[in-house]
Chains A and B, each alone.
Chain A
């Protein structure tokens, strides 16, 4: 069965330090992965998707199929990065029958 694991519920770093939020997945098909972010009092929003191979707000994530991971990284954390981060896996059986499964989330706090 498909599963997304975010092993850290809480992650606290200092401003300017590197940050890595871990995400591992389990899925027998071809995975498509996303990172969503929820800032305080704001809606959940897409941060990045692996298929785009993009860098958003200094964050990057590389899909590693061998390790079944999609870790989110940023070399220098900023206070405004403090938020709840969710890793999500798109999966389905074809046609229109696709769904997103989310991990349990990691609350990142960046201290001044």
Chain B
């Protein structure tokens, strides 16, 4: 049971490049989400999904796309990277948020956009 996995751990992009951050969980969780962590800003929700085929925007969705074709995977796509997207990105999953279930976090991806 690997929990929540994220790849890559580190990435450097140039402005305008695109890439996909991968996230997978093996706990059969319905709910998955992406956060970005910036100094002094805490964690901010980018996108979330309540099940396969269902996604919705969080607090800071601009510049990011997601899809959820399977229960296990929830990739985050940066369409055209900008320096403002330099951040640490965390993926999380939980059974669902109807109740106070724990969210399990991945190890994070540290992204630098130059």
The residues of A with any CB-CB pair to B shorter than 8 Å are: 6, 9, 32, 34, 36, 43-46, 49, 51-52, 86, 90, 92, 96-105
Contacts and interface: CB of A to CB of B under 8 A. Distances in A.
B32 to A, nearest CB: 12
Interface residues of B, number: 29
B58 interface: yes
**Which residue of B54, B90, B97 has the most chain A CB atoms within 10 A of its CB atom?**
B97
A73 to B, nearest CB: 20
Q: Mostly helix, strand, loop or mixed at chain A's interface? A: strand
A86 B50 contact: no
A61 B92 CA distance: 23
A99 B58 contact: yes
Given A96-B50, A104-B40, A90 B97 contact: yes
Interface of B: 30-31, 33, 35, 40-45, 48, 50-51, 54, 56, 58-59, 90, 92, 96-98, 100, 102-103, 105-108
B98 A98 contact: yes
A54 B98 CA distance: 20
Nearest to B3: A43
Contacts of A103: 42
